[in-house]
Structure 1
Amino acid sequence: MDLAASKRKRMVHQDDIKLNVKLQLFALIAKQPAFHQLRSVEQLGYITILANRNDYGVRGLQIIIQSTVKDPANLDSRVNAFFKMFEAKLYEMTDEDFKSNVNALVDMKLEKYKNLREESAFFWQEISNGTLKFDRKESEVAALKELRKEELIFFFNNYIKIDAPERKTLSVQVYGGLHLAEYKKVADQDGAAAQTYQINDIFSFRRSRPLYGSFKGGLGQMKL
């Protein structure tokens, strides 16, 4: 396999309406600029995705790049460079542009379900995750309408930007045959880079980390 891939997830928070809409709005605003810069301008890879992610109620920002021209470490560095560049654009965003993006996200949330399968999937996800926020759309729309641009910038500074105090990033790197030399260099570093930790035993690493509590409670008991 000659493809290389980088999948970065920045874990932000456990399900919270106000934080949810800030994350979703940021992803909406950053999605097109990220694709333009990383895919169209730098041509790092045909598959370039920036999106918010929900893992059983734990929310985060996900960036995926699949490439034949750059190794994963290089892809990660370009993602960081994008966020540094995007920071200035976020600060310079006009109130009109901010409101336009808010309205676009509100319209997306107010779209009616296309079919019964889509509607039932929403309710089953709430049940499966244990979040049970069956009025989620209405609550998030209300939170969006009260959101201010300064709050979004504070959210970015606190969770997303490179030196954010609450920034937590998991980088999953896949090295293809074209980048074996780069992989050996990274493997020999053994987590030498500042503020990084190389995971050699994923199960031991997982057991060593503090985890969010389950919305479902213990032993399958749903919290009501």
Structure 2
Amino acid sequence: MAHETHLRDNLKVHRDDFKLNVKLQLVALIAEQAAFRQLRSVEQLGYITLLRLRNDSGIHGLQFIIQSIVKDPGHIDTRVEAFLKMFESKLYEMTKDDFKSNVNALINMKLEKHKNSSEESQFYWTEIISGRTPKFDRREAEVDALKKLTQQELIYFFDENIKVGATRNITLSVRVYGNQHLAEYNSQKSEAVQPNTVQIDDIFSFRRSRPLYASVR
């Protein structure tokens, strides 16, 4: 067993949709630096601390990745939840100017021209192989959606999908315990499973038990 402890929290949010995509992207843009500062710099949970967007065959979401030699995954999981609660306040209290500044920053990122033919080719191939319906006008359509987005719509999206305890919040927590955290592993494994939580011991059986999404094409 490795010395490092590893946690991946995957928050599944929505299927591919321009309006929902830009809301999720904007939340990630606003939260990314705050997450690194709080979880890495202030709490020093792990030497690898990431918050990034994720797309699994057309299902979009957020992913926290934290790798540590000092804290066990159970503890880190609680700190990720604490960060989301703290970020909730940051989002609610954001000024109109800050909201507009973040929207414009994301628009500028999307309008940036491809640096070379390889980068342009990669954009089109990503559309083809990503598991979602290819939309080669994605950047233009998402820019248009951003220009129409209101601050209240972003808050409502966060409350419905990402906020701790949100009705549509679906989180997959993948925990890898290093050998220095065996005691925590044994203790947490014997704890009662929390309400609205499923402990997955056999990933293959769990996958077979789940309903399938309809085709995104």
1:140 aligns with 2:142: yes
Matching residue of 1:160: 162
Kindly state the Cα deviation for residue 130 of structure 1 after the two structures are TM-superposed.
4.1
Does structure 1 retain, via aligned residues, the 8 Å contact 2:46–2:68? yes
Does structure 1 retain, via aligned residues, the 8 Å contact 2:14–2:60? yes
Q: Bigger CA drift: 127-136 or 30-39? A: 127-136
Matching residue of 1:35: 36
Whole-Å Cα distance in 2 between the matches of residues 38 and 193 of structure 1?
A: 24
Does structure 2 retain, via aligned residues, the 8 Å contact 1:18–1:143? yes
1:202 aligns with 2:203: yes
Does structure 2 retain, via aligned residues, the 8 Å contact 1:10–1:160? yes
- What SS does structure 2 have at the residue aligned with 1:113? coil
Kindly state the Cα deviation for residue 24 of structure 1 after the two structures are TM-superposed.
0.2
Does structure 2 retain, via aligned residues, the 8 Å contact 1:71–1:182? yes
TM-score by length of 1: 0.93
Whole-Å Cα distance in 2 between the matches of residues 130 and 39 of structure 1?
A: 33
Does structure 1 retain, via aligned residues, the 8 Å contact 2:16–2:132? no
Matching residue of 2:117: 116
Q: Bigger CA drift: 151-160 or 113-122? A: 113-122
1:149 aligns with 2:134: no
Kindly state the Cα deviation for residue 211 of structure 1 after the two structures are TM-superposed.
2.8
Does structure 2 retain, via aligned residues, the 8 Å contact 1:14–1:212? no
Letter in 2 for 1:71: D
- Name stretches of at least 5 consecutive residues in structure 2 with no aligned partner: none
Letter in 1 for 2:119: E
- What SS does structure 2 have at the residue aligned with 1:49? strand
Report the count of equivalent residues. Answer: 215
Distance 1:101 1:126, change over 3 A: same
Letter in 2 for 1:54: N
